[in-house]
Structure 1
């Protein structure tokens, strides 16, 4: 049986920025690495005012497709070994916070998993019991979740 799950972190860092950031992102790398095994492509969204973060993606992953949607820059491509290594090693900033507004993982053109609003909201599509158990193990205890 497959389940669509939505997780929302509740412990936020005290920051002067407009956006909320999680208090702790120690879950993020193992979580994304886990979903790499099931995905074949990715899409990263950055706000236009964060152009340096977007340029970093373009410089490191020259094969990505570049797009714009309103106030967002979008980079997408195949989830090859170079892209996986980049996402794992460059996703957190010097303060340990997620750099990108959103990261989407897909398999054969269908949404599999997303990390949105700087990793504060996490959505899994058609997850099996093993994937749900993994998320419940790695995510903070005070995370809110619901199934639809």
Structure 2
């Protein structure tokens, strides 16, 4: 069985300051340098986000018809990294894409889904798990599967 850390954050709780998404940016900043491929999943009705990804990235666009989603995928470069770190939040202050996957040589090792409320990390060390727990929102629920 794989060693996975699954983190769930309840974004609807009013007593938690999740709107800054500091935890999400910390995780992206930590993992993105280890990735050589990225994939975004966006719902078809999120037209503005689809247009922005089309205009601001050189990623391949793939329609995921049965899921009613669009996938943008491709190699990671400085432009993509800067885009993610600087332009991930909507005007409402929420993460723009439904899912983001970071991969290395075809293997997904980091997944952010449901607009940053669900995180899956493949094969984290015990030291990393402790580090992640220190900057996650107070309401984060951790499931460590070994």
TM-score of the aligned structures, taking structure 2 as reference length:
0.87
Structure 2 residue aligned with 1:53: 49
Distance 2:75 2:130 in 1: 27
Q: Across the two proteins, how many residue pairs are aligned to each other?
A: 139
Instruction: Give how far 1:13 is off.
Output: 5.5
Distance 1:32 1:72 in 2: 22
Change (3 A) 1:11 1:54: closer
- The within-5 A match list for 1:1-148 is 3-12=3-12, 23-62=19-58, 64-69=59-64, 70=66, 71-148=68-145
Q: CA RMSD in A?
A: 1.7
- Is the 1:67–1:75 Cα contact (8 Å) retained in structure 2? yes
Which contiguous aligned blocks of 4+ residues in structure 1 show a shift greater than 6 angstroms?
none
Q: Which runs of 5+ in 2 are unaligned?
A: none
Q: Which runs of 5+ in 1 are unaligned?
A: 15-21
Distance 2:127 2:52 in 1: 34
